Structure 1
Amino acid sequence: MLKGVLLSVFASLLFGVVYFLSTVLYPIQGAGLFGWRTLVTVPFVIAAVFLLKQQQEFLAFLTRLTHEPYLIVILLFNSLNIGAQMWLFLWAPVNGKAIEVSIGYLLMPLVMVLMGRFAFRERMSRVKGVAVIFAALGVFSKIWITGVFSWETAFVCVGYPVYFAVRKHFNILHLSSFLLEMLLMIPISVYFAAQVEMSWVLQQNPFAYEWLALLGLVGGIAFIAYIMASQRIPINILGLLGYLEPFTMLVVSFLIGERLEQDSYILMGCLCVAVFLLILDGMAKTKITAFS
């Protein structure tokens, strides 16, 4: 349980680094950046299979696919879903949709908590329930004040919970399935990356290849850590811990010169309380486990 929590926190911090790296890769952006990000991430995911000694599990999963071929369709669906999420994450900041996508990331953990409770019958302690209430109040106060709810918001807050719920339902919560999902993205990624004129990019950004390599390393480790976390903790706890990623993105925003708007003060206050309650609940459970 504790290892899963730490992996989730680690992943959130790394996703914040990825968010920052997308700002230093100009003039590569949008679909082109998605294509390159996928291509530089796949080698690290393959390496992780060997580093984590998951070769036998990968071969066993391939064998399972021969007995359960319908899983290929599931993998295609998940690949399209997570690929679209990766594209939207990189596309939004340069197309004036960063607020909409950020609200989606804030709503997403709440949707995961509710999905875990009602779809998978996962237990929710009173403290977690109070944390969810505070988080919901904060998120909906933001929506009430700004009046913003767009397709970008809906796509994020629904798409990610569906992705993890599908993986959980079909018992494919492992690195092998994630690797296949990434491999299925390669054809479209090659197409998008080929549209980028790298000779012109290098004139504008001489270290573009180095930044792309770092983007692949950080992004690959972040995704792997998050998937490993989803194997070790209930989906509702994973959902609450997901609030750390928007906090990390907020810190990155401060570092690149952005400021928190007044209409977000209530939201951030409520989310701080929710995360604090989650920490208290986790500490209490850790003590109970230690004494038992």
Structure 2
Amino acid sequence: MSSTPPPQKQGTGLLFAVGAYGLWGILPVFFLALMPASPVEIVAARILLSLVFCFVLIAITRSGLAFAATLRDRRSMLLLALAGVLILTNWLTYVFAATTGHVVEAALGYFLNPIVTVLLGVFLLRERLRPLQWTAIGLSAVAALVLAIGYGSVPWIALILAFSFGIYGLVKKQVGPRVDAITGLTIETMWLSPLALAALIVIGVTTGLTTGTVSAWHTALMLSAGVVTAVPLLFFAAAARRLKLTVLGLSQYLAPLLQFLFGVIALHEDMPFERWVGFGLVWVALLILTIDMFTAGRGPRRSALEPA
């Protein structure tokens, strides 16, 4: 029996995917609107407000039993604690990039993420690469060298984003389907909430919190951080249930593309010739990976690390 979802489900799934990656793609606009809040204040508020919103969702969806079962699963709890540390690293780096004029480099990180995922499969899961995958990795290595020359230093923001999110996806795969999206995000933010609360207290008694002191609009935006965090995740979960992996994998390029266009067109970030060459090589590598994904999907099933 065919595993291809019916056309109606595919159409709905594609709308959810575009919604998820589209919202992730315009996140820099949201974080810039939260200035002059610091990246630490933004991320700390995002963690605590996401936790509150997730508890509301658990109550609405009546998924308390699944949440309680995960709390009793020691392995899942430890893996989600590790996932929390990784997503904290990713969020802090991304907010720092968005608020300091490095949106293009952040976009590069998410363009590199599928390639990092393949590398993790090689080094951590001992998987064997196909020739096209090796070609894509080789091109990415050349691109990294060209971009390092273009930036005048190692593009550490892009690398931290790519590897933190790549490893986060790998950890979430180890948790498996027994932990749904809402439960997973709830427990990750639970692990991080004491640290987030401590950070807000320290900021409050030193430099002072911006929340409630800038404007009513700024406060409303800050208080919406939990919804802004959780809604794309729920859209993504809905898309993943309705779309084939190949279609979902192609959809992920929408977010970094929107970020890249926003950085270049709206923020006028520098794009010297070396960066265009480096980005061009990354895009060619992604095209090769996409071709390999489709050709491998038509052949016999082989071992491969799925996109996170």
Query: TM-score interval w.r.t. the shorter chain?
Result: 0.7 to 0.9
More moved, 247-256 vs 163-172: 247-256
Q: Number of residue pairs matched?
A: 283
Which of 66, 75, 83 lines up with 1:60 in the alignment?
66
Which of 216, 222, 228 lines up with 2:226 in the alignment?
216
Matched, 1:246 2:256: yes
Question: Is the contact between residue 45 and residue 224 of structure 1 (CA under 8 Å) also seen in structure 2?
Answer: no
Question: Is the contact between residue 243 and residue 271 of structure 1 (CA under 8 Å) also seen in structure 2?
Answer: no
Matched, 1:84 2:93: no
TM-score (norm 1): 0.73
What CA distance in whole angstroms lies between the structure 2 residues aligned with 1:228 and 1:137?
A: 37
Question: Is the contact between residue 75 and residue 177 of structure 1 (CA under 8 Å) also seen in structure 2?
Answer: yes
User: Cα distance 1:227–1:267, how it changes in 2: closer, same or farther (>3 A)?
Assistant: farther
- Matched with 1:107 is 112
Matched, 1:225 2:235: yes
More moved, 161-170 vs 123-132: 123-132
User: Cα distance 1:225–1:193, how it changes in 2: closer, same or farther (>3 A)?
Assistant: farther
Kindly state the Cα deviation for residue 86 of structure 1 after the two structures are TM-superposed: 1.2
User: Cα distance 1:260–1:92, how it changes in 2: closer, same or farther (>3 A)?
Assistant: closer
Kindly state the Cα deviation for residue 146 of structure 1 after the two structures are TM-superposed: 3.5
- Matched with 2:305 is none
> What letter corresponds to residue 244 of structure 1 in structure 2?
L
Secondary structure in structure 1 of the residue aligned to 2:26: helix
Structure 1 gaps of 5+ residues are: 288-292
What CA distance in whole angstroms lies between the structure 2 residues aligned with 1:119 and 1:237?
A: 26
Question: Is the contact between residue 132 and residue 288 of structure 2 (CA under 8 Å) also seen in structure 1?
Answer: yes
- Matched with 2:160 is 155
Which structure's residues are more often helix, by fraction?
A: 1
User: Cα distance 1:184–1:134, how it changes in 2: closer, same or farther (>3 A)?
Assistant: same
- Matched with 1:266 is 277
- Matched with 2:302 is none
Question: Is the contact between residue 43 and residue 95 of structure 2 (CA under 8 Å) also seen in structure 1?
Answer: yes
What CA distance in whole angstroms lies between the structure 2 residues aligned with 1:249 and 1:147?
A: 22
TM-score (norm 2): 0.70
Which of 181, 190, 193 lines up with 1:183 in the alignment?
190
User: Cα distance 1:252–1:165, how it changes in 2: closer, same or farther (>3 A)?
Assistant: same
Secondary structure in structure 1 of the residue aligned to 2:36: coil
User: Cα distance 1:115–1:10, how it changes in 2: closer, same or farther (>3 A)?
Assistant: farther
Kindly state the Cα deviation for residue 246 of structure 1 after the two structures are TM-superposed: 1.9
- Matched with 2:54 is 45
More moved, 213-222 vs 145-154: 145-154
User: Cα distance 1:140–1:48, how it changes in 2: closer, same or farther (>3 A)?
Assistant: farther
Kindly state the Cα deviation for residue 118 of structure 1 after the two structures are TM-superposed: 7.1
User: Cα distance 1:232–1:285, how it changes in 2: closer, same or farther (>3 A)?
Assistant: farther
- Matched with 2:24 is 15
User: Cα distance 1:165–1:139, how it changes in 2: closer, same or farther (>3 A)?
Assistant: same
Secondary structure in structure 2 of the residue aligned to 1:207: helix
Question: Is the contact between residue 108 and residue 279 of structure 2 (CA under 8 Å) also seen in structure 1?
Answer: no
RMSD of aligned alpha carbons: 4.2
Residues 190-238 of structure 1 show CA distances to partners (whole Å, capped at 9, x for unaligned) of 233342435x655543411221234432222123334555677788876
What CA distance in whole angstroms lies between the structure 1 residues aligned with 2:121 and 2:18?
A: 19
Kindly state the Cα deviation for residue 126 of structure 1 after the two structures are TM-superposed: 8.4
> What letter corresponds to residue 31 of structure 1 in structure 2?
V
Residues 43-71 of structure 1 show CA distances to partners (whole Å, capped at 9, x for unaligned) of 333344456x3x34x523522542x3232
